[in-house]
Amino acid sequence: MQHPKPPFSGACLCGAAQVRVTAEPLLTLACHCRDCQKLSASAFSLTVMVPQDSFTCSGDLIVGGRKSDGRVHYFCASCLNFVYSQIGTGSGRINLRSSVLKEAALFAPFVELMTEEKQPWVSLPVQHSFARYPESAAQVQDLLEAYRDR
Ligand SMILES: [Zn+2]
Ligand SMILES: [Zn+2]
């Protein structure tokens, strides 16, 4: 598989929130959970996971989505486009919505999550599939390594 070369950049729907990523992504994924279906107004969400220290976002953002422990979802304050999520404090990783990136076409999902809530007519060409989520940090590490070595 081709490895897209950083930097990557993009913007929300209205352009007020500009994102930039200076490192290679850590993982690409699709999530089929019901929350992501509602958030994306679609059948699944698409994520490019990137190192937090490689990521910048300018523009006014607001916190939205479901308020849950360890996850904060950021939206453009002007157009309310879903831009990224902070996953855990100290994880060092950002879940950027693939759709805001100009290079979105390069980031086919490598992993899919929450297939137990998947719409039955969706089929994605992923390498790894989970009924829910990876169960351990070691399993996540294996996915990151598999993605890097793809
Ligand atoms: Zn916007
Ligand atoms: Zn989800």
The number of the ligand nearest the C-alpha atom of 13 reads 1
Distance between Cα 75 and ligand 1 center (Å): 8
Residue 70 — very low, low, confident or very high, per pLDDT cuts 50/70/90? confident
Map out the domains of the chain with their CATH numbers. Answer: 8-148 (2.170.150.70)
Task: Calculate the average pLDDT of the chain.
Answer: 94
pLDDT band at 1 (very low <50, low <70, confident <90, very high): low
Cα(33) to ligand 2 centroid in Å equals 4
Question: Is the pLDDT reported for residue 20 higher than 60?
Answer: yes
Band (51; pLDDT cuts 50, 70, 90): very high
- Residue 138: CB partners within 8 Å, gap ≥ 6? none
In this prediction, residue 2 has a pLDDT band, given cuts at 50, 70 and 90, of: low
Q: What is the mean pLDDT of residues 85-108?
A: 92
Report CA(2)–ligand 2 centroid distance (Å): 26
CA 13 to chain CA centroid, Å, is 17
- Confidence class of residue 89 from pLDDT cuts 50, 70 and 90? confident
pTM of the entire predicted model: 0.94
Alpha helices (runs of H) in the chain, residue ranges in sequence order = 34-40, 137-148
Ligand 2 mean position to 36 CA, how many Å?
A: 4
Give the percent of the chain with pLDDT over 90: 89
- Interatomic CA distance for residues 28 and 117, integer angstroms: 19
pLDDT of residue 120: 98
CA 2/CA 18 separation, integer angstroms: 25
